[in-house]
Structure 1
Amino acid sequence: MFETISVEVDARGVATLMLNRPEKHNAMSGEMLTELKAAAEQLAKDDSVRVVVLTGAGKSFCAGGDLGWMQKQRDLAPEARGKEARKLAEMLQALNTLPKPLIGRVQGNAFGGGVGMACVCDVTIGVDSLTMGLTETRLGLIPATIGPYVVARMGEGKARRVFMSARLFKAEEAAALDILSKVVPADALDAAVEAEIAPYLAVAPGAVARAKALTRTLGAPINDAVIDHTIGELVACWEGEEAREGIRAFFAKEKPSWT
């Protein structure tokens, strides 16, 4: 059914939603974003599903945006770029509003949009060897559509430590920034995820869904107006001289003028 992801549900009602482009380090293409949104919507409607585990196949959790997808965006008109940005925004919102517990099983590195996906999970467990980074500003872009979820997870103060610098950081710092809820060795990852799953199999699923929805109303709103604003900011960056230079230099394997 899906080409870039897989979905499996076990007898307990635990669904595993897996990014399945290991040869591309699970980089997000337009197709993957569409499929992830569709999968989230399907899982939301499936009453047999009690918990969803989000993970990646292979060595990386998610390397961010697919290079081919980015190259295509470079040549698009602003309106078309906005439509592509909306795919990412709508996918993240579908996961953020999923009326099931969403547990992140981060088995490898995560950059850009991959960090955004880690931040929409209710609990995110990562291996101690991973590296993360919000790397968009290296290209003259900004972490726009993922921004509301990153700031909601980390808080403004912590987000400002890594939101603009594009520097890479390891698992321990990701935990200190509240991106990761827990850091474990690779051979303990599955046991740690199971420990998070277990309590949800003993509580009322309707109450869980209502409680999760309540937490979202108590925090900063992530609504259509916020999403539209982030898309507008990203499109504006794409139209700027810095993005043109940064993306050209990236694909040419050259250094931009600000380096």
Structure 2
Amino acid sequence: MGAYETLTLERDTRGVVTLTLARPEKHNAMNARMIAELADAAGKLAADEAVRVVVLTSAGSTFCAGGDLQWMRDQAARDRAGKIEGATELALMLKVLDDLPKPLIGRVQGNAFGGGIGLMAVCDIVVAADSAWFALTETRLGLVPATIGPYVVRRIGEGHARRLFLNARRFDAVTAREIGLVSVVRTADELAAAVEEEVSAFLDCAPGAVASAKGLVQSLARQAVEDPVGYSTGLLADRWESAEGRAGIETFLNRRPMPWAAPKAGKD
């Protein structure tokens, strides 16, 4: 699915793509190239109708350590316009992932700090190892988690964000689940099975309906809808009249398997 320097992509026969951060020697810290490649990959995945589910994970023992040290040095050396340009590239990458019209599952096998938590926050579901630790460490450096802030605050709420944004303290996977950053906590040995359980559930659903449902949640949760009654009823009517909606109802009434249910298979 295209060659990248900092990422790998692997698609199986069901249309499940595993997007892997591939800088384990740098604890998968994000540099300018990784940011650009994540944005590019997300755009291509969004446009590929054959992609049903995307799993975001990483190689090595760390999920993502945040910003790469050299990237941070480069940012510090730039003038104000350059700093804004670099921050904008990061912000736009997160937005493309957040807007992805496919289910995005985070498989977090290790620690995540700073921008790594931003990547988790744009996932629809996050499955994390019980041994993982997390922190928003920016204030220790005299900075703030600004570009990831909109996504993290939406995910964990203002109350939790006030504490964790300000004090930069580490917290464990159980706490991450309690505040809503993580959906499922499992042991390292159970992680793959837990992710597959989430993937399989999505594969039983109509892909167009999944995309519409995701957009519905985002619109309602972010108060982007002036007329929620008109919006929601119109959207439901659109889905009833869609090819998927007509096929799904007809199939259900005739007690047949849904046409979009993907067969269980391995990677090609």
**Shorter-chain-normalised TM-score: which range?**
0.7 to 0.9
Task: Give SS of 1:144's match.
Answer: coil
Give CA deviations for 1:98-135 in whole Å, capped at 9, x if unaligned. Answer: 00000000010000000010111000010000110000
CA offset at residue 159 of structure 1? 1.5
Q: Aligned to 2:160, which of 155, 158, 178?
A: 158
How far does the alpha carbon of each residue in 1:27-63 deviate from its partner, in whole angstroms, 9 at most, with x for none?
0001000000000000001111100000010000000
Q: 2:96 aligns with which of 94, 97, 100?
A: 94
Q: Match of 1:70?
A: 72
Look up the equivalent residue of 2:172 and give its one-letter code: K
Equivalence for 1:225 = none
Q: Return the alpha-carbon distance in structure 2 between the equivalents of residues 65 and 71 of structure 1.
A: 10
Query: Which 5+ residue runs of structure 2 have no aligned equivalent?
Result: 225-268
- Measured against aligned partners, the alpha-carbon deviations of 1:132-173 in whole angstroms (never above 9, x if no partner) come to 000000010000000000011011112212111111111111
> Are 2:125 and 1:123 aligned?
yes
The equivalent residue for 1:197 is 199
Whole-angstrom CA distance in 2 between matches of 1:165 and 1:219: 27
Aligned partner of residue 138 in structure 1, secondary structure: helix
Scaled by the length of structure 2, what TM-score is found?
0.81
**Percentage of matched positions with identical amino acids:** 56
Between structure 1 and structure 2, the one with the greater Rg is: 2
Cα-Cα RMSD: 1.0
Cα distance in structure 2, aligned partners of 1:163 and 1:190: 30
Question: 2:4 aligned to 2, 5, 21, which one?
Answer: 2
Q: Could you say if the C-alpha distance between residues 80 and 103 of structure 1 is closer, same or farther in structure 2, counting changes exceeding 3 Å?
A: same
Q: Which amino acid aligns with 1:201?
A: L
Counterpart for residue 83 of structure 1: 85
Q: Partners in 2 of 1:210 and 1:90 — Cα distance? A: 22
Partner deviation per Cα, 1:176-195 (whole Å, 9 max, x = no partner): 11111011000000000000
What does residue 107 of structure 2 align with?
105
- Provide the rounded CA distance (Å) in 2 between the counterparts of 1:180 and 1:199: 18
Amino acid at match of 2:149: G
Q: Secondary structure at the match of 1:132?
A: strand
In the alignment of these two chains, the number of paired residues is 222
SS at match of 2:181: coil
CA contact (8 A) 1:159 1:177 kept: no
Query: Partner residue of 1:236?
Result: none
Structure 1 segments of 4 or more deviating over 4 A? none
TM value normalised by structure 1: 0.84
Q: Deviations over 1:3-47 (max 9, x none)?
A: 001111100100001000000000000100000000000000111
Q: Secondary structure at the match of 1:160?
A: helix
Letter in 1 for 2:109: Q
User: CA shift at 1:221, angstroms?
Assistant: 6.1
SS of corresponding position for 1:151: helix
